[in-house]
Amino acid sequence: MRIELPKDEMPRQWYNIIPDLPSPPAPPIHPGRMEPCTPDDLVDVFPMSLIEQDVSDKPWIDIPEPILDLYAQWRPTPLYRAVRWEQALGTPAKIYYKWEGVSPAGSHKPNTAVAQAYYNKQAGMKRIATETGAGQWGSALSYGCAMFGLGCTVYMVGVSYDQKPYRRLMMETWGATCYRSPNQRTQIGKRLLAERPDHPGSLGIAISEALEDAVPDPECRYSLGSVLNHVLLHQTINGLECKKQLAMVGDEPDVIIGCIGGGSNYAGHCFPFVPDKAAGKDIRFIAVEPQSCPSTTKGPYRYDFGDTAQTTPLLKMHTLGHDFVPPGIHAGGLRYHGMAPLVSQLIKEGIMESVAVPQTKCFESAVGFARAEGWIVAPETAHAVYVTEQEALKAKEEGVERVIMFNNSGHGYFDLAAYEAFLSGKLADYEYPVEEVQRALSVLPEVPEQ
């Protein structure tokens, strides 16, 4: 059952959770000075408008008209009641899901991509540089840049560049330039390729290359697709729509579920409901991460770099160590060593739960979901589907008509090889790589208490 929000009901402001947090967020630390960053530290990296959003204490931030116009190409996105899946599971629970797969890039990523492109355009930029793993973020930003006539330079992790050409082709169709990372165009790329000409790359290396490309160019800035406060802010349009859509059918959520890699899709989905919990409503927030990259369930909450090359400010977050290399699970978007500081803080403060799950169970649930609801979801999203199913079965056991909602953050059309691996019995699970995490955590920087 599809619940459509009329277009004139689309939210016109983003929700900023910062003023509603029980304690102020820990500031980013400049790794040279070991003191909180000032806006000036970041001015060559991001436009000032985004730097300001990162630290804003206003609970609501107006969405500029040109962004609203673009959102309206695919937003409000539908909220579904999963009636057929409920029946298949035999659960008394009511399951709702928000469907972000209808965007031009097929996921929630364009919510921040068009916003970031807009603010860069406003700041007089001609181009944005970014990194991408499997290509979800790179394709979304390529779309966003095309909409505002900006150039877009994407450094794509080498192994994905070689094995998954389709996302790169989307970027190129939208007019972006996509380079295999590491690349001879950058100093760090040259160095790594000299050591190993067929270097497979990593997200950390690609970030470093994008920064090296962007920072010296006065008409170019860098962009990140998750983790940072302003990215999470832009995603809150999702949860704000869900609130209105649930109100249309007279329901309120008891459990809200989403997958976390950098944290932005789930933050956008659930943050607008956090004040309701603070106001006394009994809501469980369940963030789902992969067993093989369990940053919030196994990683300490402490300062770490956002990238492998140690070029970003230090962020206080759950982390497995910036040097940690996660196993090659199919949910590439969940293979990140850290976690958004705002999501980390909510978990630390006990407002949000998190759980780590194995990928085979996720695909099993995703196939059941596809056969009931029709949608073939991304491997990342499958993590949310699995835990939703578990919660629905628990409600069945308990005989409770619980309202469970999850963020169906994107389609899996470019991930069907993973479905094939599952369907043919070839998909394996990875154990939590405890020694690799211990090694990565042993080289974390010591940061003085702020």
Question: Which residues from 402-431 bind a second copy, rule CB under 8 A?
Answer: 413-414, 416-417, 419-420, 423
| Residues whose CB is less than 8 angstroms from the CB of residue 394 and which lie 6 or more positions away in sequence, other chains included | none
Number of shown-chain residues binding a second copy (CB under 8 A): 38
- Which amino acid is located at 206 in the chain? A
φ, ψ of residue 375 in degrees (nearest 5): -85, 130
- How far apart CA 362 and CA 375 sit, in angstroms, is 14
Q: Check residue 104 for interaction with a second copy (CB under 8 A).
A: yes
Nearest-CA neighbor of 135 among 163, 111, 115, 99?
163
- How far apart CA 326 and CA 307 sit, in angstroms, is 14
Site string (62-81) toward a second copy, x via CB under 8 A: ----------xxx-----x-
Q: Residue 198 in contact with residue 218, Cβ under 8 Å?
A: no
Nearest distance from residue 103's CB to a second copy, in Å? 8
- How far apart CA 371 and CA 6 sit, in angstroms, is 29
Annotate 319-378 with DSSP letters as a single string: -S-TT------S-GGG--SS--HHHHHHHHTTSSEEEEE-HHHHHHHHHHHHHHH---B-
Among 96, 174, 305, 324, binds a second copy (CB under 8 A): 174
**Cα–Cα distance list, 107 to 28, 76, 132, 233 (Å):** 28, 13, 14, 16
Among 289, 373, 389, 391, binds a second copy (CB under 8 A): 373
End-to-end C-alpha distance for the chain, whole angstroms = 49
Question: With respect to a second copy, which residue has the nearer C-beta, 43 or 72?
Answer: 72
Among 106, 158, 189, 268, binds a second copy (CB under 8 A): 106
Nearest distance from residue 16's CB to a second copy, in Å? 27
Q: Check residue 376 for interaction with a second copy (CB under 8 A).
A: yes
Q: Check residue 375 for interaction with a second copy (CB under 8 A).
A: yes
Q: Check residue 355 for interaction with a second copy (CB under 8 A).
A: no
Q: Check residue 169 for interaction with a second copy (CB under 8 A).
A: yes
Q: Check residue 276 for interaction with a second copy (CB under 8 A).
A: no
Among 44, 172, 252, 276, binds a second copy (CB under 8 A): 172
Contact positions vs a second copy (CB under 8 A): 1-2, 4, 6-7, 72-74, 80, 84, 102, 104, 106, 143, 146-147, 165-166, 169-170, 172-175, 367, 370-371, 373-376, 413-414, 416-417, 419-420, 423
